[in-house]
A and B are shown apart, each in its own frame.
Chain A
Amino acid sequence: MQIRVTVNGVEHVSDVEPRTLLVQYVREALGLTGTNIGCDTSSCGACSLHVDGEAVKSCTLLAVQADGANVTTIEGLAGKDGSLHPMQKAFMENHGLQCGYCTPGMVMAATSLLKEIPNPTEEDVRIGLEGNLCRCTGYHNIVKAVMACAGK
């Protein structure tokens, strides 16, 4: 089936099998491998990206469901000149990662969260990131990074 998806500002027209997952589409068809596959069962959040501005788990979405949508992956967050998005910068400055595997998903979930709750409490951030698992147990600095990005 033919789909038309705008990914990081670039329109793509692609033929996909209906069973193609969105995460597979961005990684394999578009070569955007910043979006990771972790649990593959919509638990861990490593595959989080934005569809029409909201974080979703792209392992539990068919590419055909994103037909016509605006998708942003971690590659689309930084400026064209390579300058980091404030959330990426905050993760770097607050050491919000260890191995880094969960990081793209964390950053995408966190940017979506701040759109919905611009002035979060620490509890809002912890609850808001409940869909993203970090197996290095690095939540403390991740929460610090999101709070820093929110200006707190």
Chain B
Amino acid sequence: MIPAAFDYVRAGSAAEAISLIGQHGSDAKFLAGGHSLLPLMKLRLAQPSVLVDIGRVKDLSYIKDAGDHIAIGALTRHMDVEKSSVLAQHAPLLAHAAGHVGDPQVRHRGTIGGSIAHADPASDLPATTLALGATYVVQGPKGTREIKASDFYLGFLESALAADEMLTEIRVPKMNGAGWSFQKFNRRAQDWAIVGVAAWRRNGDSGVALVNMGQTPVLASSVSGALKGGASIADAAELAVAEASPSADNNASVEYRTHLAKVLVRRALEQASA
């Protein structure tokens, strides 16, 4: 399968990328690692007329300790997130989840920013950064703005990014001392999660987010609320789907997904509390 023809331009910096996307209009798309976009283009589910290749903007590939948070450049590859010693120390949940994206070949090319900007509710990193209370930094023609992960996901493959804006950085609060767990349930290696759960607990606080349980990644605030109020893990896990609206597909019915979410949230909380 070969994508439909398109024009290809290469950006050397974020500013150049934003200027190029502005020139080419809403039919242009950013190409980072290409591991979400190219499969869609090969299936003709996406047919952009112009690709702005940002894969060579190397100064957006970094993982830095920025005081109270870790700053991750949007073009950092999954493999680099997975193996980061900075994240292993301060936000191990994210490094671990990145190691579950696709397979090694995919992780050599795919980027954290590409995955988040693609806003696929079945992807691991949108939900994981949502659970961690991340903030996304986006750059547009008028400058930069910050968007909370909890305000970013608007619908299926739809985010708060404007057509001429580019995600440049992901900021993850430091989570030293937090218990955490990432549960990914699938039947085939390398596949998307049928249901996934990213969770952390520290003192009375917690964050729980669900993969593939609706049109967007889902923050399970009711679970955290119940835990804060003193509920047992088993009782809190029963509230797993309070914010979710799962749909059925070839892998699972709505009932099965609902059941899985409760079981996986319970397991995640048990692991995060151990």
Contacts and interface: CB of A to CB of B under 8 A. Distances in A.
Contacts of A128: 104
B105 A19 contact: no
B53 to A, nearest CB: 7
Nearest to B103: A131
Given A56-B108, A64-B8, A40 B42 contact: yes
A60 B39 contact: yes
A55 B107 CA distance: 10
A32 interface: no
B55 A19 contact: no
A65 interface: yes
Interface size grouping (class) on chain A: 20 to 34
A55 B105 contact: yes
A62 B105 contact: no
Contacts of A132: 103
B253 to A, nearest CB: 24
B189 A130 contact: yes
Contacts of B79: 54
A100 to B, nearest CB: 20
A1 B9 CA distance: 10
Contacts of B105: 42, 45, 48, 55-57, 109, 112, 131
Given A56-B109, A113-B104, A18 B6 contact: yes
Contact of B108 (A19, A45, A55, A127): A55
B7 interface: yes
A17 to B, nearest CB: 7
A88 interface: no
B2 A21 contact: yes
B53 A55 contact: no
Interface in A26-83: 40-43, 45, 48, 51, 54-57, 60-62, 64-65
Given A42-B35, A62-B34, A57 B106 contact: yes
Nearest to A19: B3
B6 A131 contact: no
B103 A1 contact: no
Contacts of B6: 18-19
Interface residues of B, number: 27
Classify the secondary structure of A's interface with B. mixed
Nearest to B51: A18
A24 interface: yes
A55 B7 contact: no
B38 interface: yes
Interface string A1-13: 1000000000000
Nearest to A68: B56
B1 interface: yes
B247 interface: no
B143 to A, nearest CB: 29
A128 B103 CA distance: 8
B5 A112 contact: no
A64 to B, nearest CB: 6
Interface in A72-114: 109, 112-113
B234 interface: no
Contact of A55 (B2, B8, B104): B104
Contacts of A113: 104
Interface string A110-152: 0011001000000000011011100000000000000000000
B190 interface: yes
20 contacts: A17-B5, A18-B6, A18-B8, A19-B2, A20-B2, A40-B42, A41-B1, A42-B102, A48-B105, A51-B108, A56-B108, A57-B109, A60-B38, A65-B55, A112-B104, A116-B104, A130-B104, A130-B190, A131-B102, A131-B190
- Those 4 A-B pairs whose CB atoms lie nearest each other, nearest first: A131-B103, A18-B8, A130-B189, A54-B108
